[in-house]
Amino acid sequence: MTYEHIETFLTVVASGSITAAAKKLFISQSTVSSRIMQLEEELKTPLLIRQKGHRQISLTSFGTSFIPIANQWAALWKDTENLKSKSDVKTLTIASVDAVNNSTFVPLFQQHIHTSTQIRLSINTFHSNEIYSLVENRTADLGFVFNQIAYPDVISKPIYQENFYLLCHKDSSYNNYISCNDLDASNEIYINWDSSFRHWHNHHWSPDIIPFMEVNIGSMLSKYLNKPAMNHPGHWGIAPMSVIATAIQHNPDLRYCTLKEPPAARTCYEIKNLHTKSGQQEAIAYFEQELKDFIQQEDALVNMQC
Mark 98-117 as b/e (b = at least 16 C-beta within 10 Å): bbbbbbbbeebeebbeeebe
DSSP 224-248: G-PPPPTT----EEEEEHHHHHHHH
Q: Using only C-alpha atoms, what is the Rg of the chain?
A: 32
- CA angle, 133 then 107 then 278, to 5°: 40
pLDDT digits (tens, 9 = 90+) for 119-161: 889 999 998 899 999 999 999 999 999 989 999 899 999 999 9
Task: Among 3.40.50.920, 1.10.10.10, 1.20.120.430, 3.40.50.300, name the CATH number for the domain at 3-86.
Answer: 1.10.10.10
Domain layout of the chain by residue ranges: 3-86, 90-158+268-304, 164-257
- CA angle, 37 then 40 then 42, to 5°: 110
Residue 118 reports pLDDT greater than 90: no
Give the pLDDT band (50/70/90) at residue 94: very high
| β pairing state of 142-145 and 154-162 | unpaired
On the question of a common fold for 3-86 and 90-158+268-304, the answer reads no
Q: At what angle do helices 29-43 and 18-25 cross, to 10 degrees?
A: 110
Contact 185, 238 (CB under 8 A): no
pTM listed for this prediction: 0.64
Spatial separation of the C-alpha atoms in residues 39 and 55, rounded to whole Å: 20
Which range, of 21-30, 234-243, 257-266, averages the lowest pLDDT? 21-30
Contact 123, 109 (CB under 8 A): yes
Cα 116 to its chain centre, rounded Å, is: 11
- CATH number attached to the domain at 90-158+268-304: 3.40.190.10
> What top-level class would CATH report for the domain 164-257?
alpha beta
Spatial separation of the C-alpha atoms in residues 183 and 178, rounded to whole Å: 8
pLDDT digits (tens, 9 = 90+) for 211-228: 999 998 888 888 999 999
What is the predicted pLDDT for the residue at 224?
Answer: 93
